[in-house]
């Protein structure tokens, strides 16, 4: 579904990422982890067609990412929720789909709000919702777009630890039900392991993929997984890849 080949992206003299090759099959959940400034956001934005490769190439469902994005086949969830303050939760969920030229489906939007735990808040404005609730609206909005590919950049970065875990488990559930292909950027090692089928570790400046882990923990994964020795072992392996001096 997503194919990144020998990608480098520079901003003027600064090369943000280099030599990145990554294939994400349809329906997979890939997490990308790495220290601040290693180019995770740049990689995600390039996959989404918001930045252009300096060298190498990206294809999303076999086409250039800008085209996939224009057609509404790529949904984004950013760290900042980017909701429109003058629109209700329901209107925020439906407007992107209309913008992409797809038929409006208010009932489906209501159902999605329900699924992310926001039944009864359809008419609420963003200012009256908590940070976690706003991020749920943003997730419902991305899902409502009906894109096959979801790109998520630290979507829970501003949430407290417990809400973050709950949201991660919810996103996993919705991802399984909706069969999306997800690339999810995070700073959190437990989150990367809890959510991913595969965890890609990026390091350096420019950032490169230093290691890729298959996370073969059984699904569905819930809080109990966090305590399991198998989970802890994978967390330790990712931590080692992030910190060793190779
Ligand atoms: N628009 C831009 N113009 C110039 N340089 C940029 C731009 N965006 C990113 N960079 C540089 O590219 C490098 C990678 O940045 P990027 O935001 O992709 O990293 P990141 O891993 O997502 O960081 P963080 O985890 O802090 O969000 C950094 O050196 C950054 O300063």
Mean pLDDT of the chain: 91
The pLDDT of residue 246 is: 53
The pLDDT of residue 220 is: 86
Residue owning the nearest CA to atom 31 of ligand 1: 37
49: left (phi over 0), alpha (psi -120 to 50) or beta: left
Q: How far is CA 154 from CA 14, 34, 157, in A?
A: 23, 12, 5
Looking at the CA of residue 185, tell me the nearest atom of ligand 1.
22
Q: Exposure pattern of 41-73 as b/e (b: 16+ CB <10 Å)?
A: bbbbbbbbbbbebeebebbbbeeebeebbeebb
In 28-78, the DSSP E strands lie at: 29-33, 55-60, 74-77
Residue 79 CA to ligand 1 centre (angstroms)? 14
The pLDDT of residue 82 is: 83
Mean pLDDT of 30-41: 95
Mean pLDDT of 28-34: 96
Residue owning the nearest CA to atom 1 of ligand 1: 11
Is the pLDDT score of 190 beyond 70? Answer: yes
This prediction's pTM: 0.91
Per-domain boundaries in the chain? 1-73+147-160+181-246, 81-146
Residue 172 CA to ligand 1 centre (angstroms)? 27
Residue 22 CA to ligand 1 centre (angstroms)? 19
The pLDDT of residue 245 is: 58
d(CA 54, CA 64): 14
Position 116 confidence tier, pLDDT thresholds 50, 70, 90 = confident
Mean pLDDT of 116-135: 91
The pLDDT of residue 131 is: 84
Residue owning the nearest CA to atom 2 of ligand 1: 11
Residue 8 CA to ligand 1 centre (angstroms)? 13
The pLDDT of residue 212 is: 96
Query: What class is the 1-73+147-160+181-246 domain?
Result: alpha beta
pLDDT tens across 202-213, in order?
999 999 999 999
Share of the chain above pLDDT 90, in %: 63
Ligand 1 interacting residues, C-beta cut-off 6 A: 11, 14, 16, 34, 36-42
The residue with greater pLDDT, 166 or 109, is 109
- Model-level ipTM above the cut of 0.95: yes
Is the pLDDT score of 158 beyond 80? Answer: no
Residue owning the nearest CA to atom 7 of ligand 1: 11
The residue with greater pLDDT, 199 or 177, is 199
Question: Which of 40, 45, 155, 192 has the most ligand 1 atoms within 8 A of CB, as the residue to mutate?
Answer: 40
């Amino acid at each position: 579904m997503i194919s990144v080949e020998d990608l480098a992206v520079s901003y003027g003299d600064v090369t943000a990422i280099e030599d990145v090759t990554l294939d994400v099959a349809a329906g997979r959940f890939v997490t990308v982890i790495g220290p601040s400034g290693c180019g995770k956001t740049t990689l995600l934005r390039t996959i989404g067609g918001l930045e252009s490769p300096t060298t190498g190439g990206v294809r999303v469902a076999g086409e250039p990412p800008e085209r996939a994005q224009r057609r509404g086949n790529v949904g984004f969830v950013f760290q900042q929720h980017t909701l429109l303050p003058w629109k209700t939760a329901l209107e925020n969920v439906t407007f992107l789909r209309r913008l992409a030229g797809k038929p409006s489906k208010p009932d489906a939007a209501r159902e999605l709000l329900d699924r992310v735990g926001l039944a009864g808040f359809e008419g609420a404005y963003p200012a009256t919702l908590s940070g976690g609730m706003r991020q749920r609206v943003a997730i419902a909005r991305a899902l409502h777009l009906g894109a096959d590919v979801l790109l998520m950049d630290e979507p829970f970065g501003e949430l407290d630890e417990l809400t973050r875990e709950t949201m991660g488990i919810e996103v996993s559930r919705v991802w399984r039900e909706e069969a999306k292909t997800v690339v999810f950027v995070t700073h959190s090692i437990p989150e990367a392991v809890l959510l991913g089928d595969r965890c890609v570790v990026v390091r350096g400046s420019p950032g490169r993929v230093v290691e890729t882990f298959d996370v073969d923990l059984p699904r569905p994964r819930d809080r109990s997984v966090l305590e399991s020795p198998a989970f802890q072992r994978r967390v330790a392996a990712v931590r080692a890849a992030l910190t060793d001096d190779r």
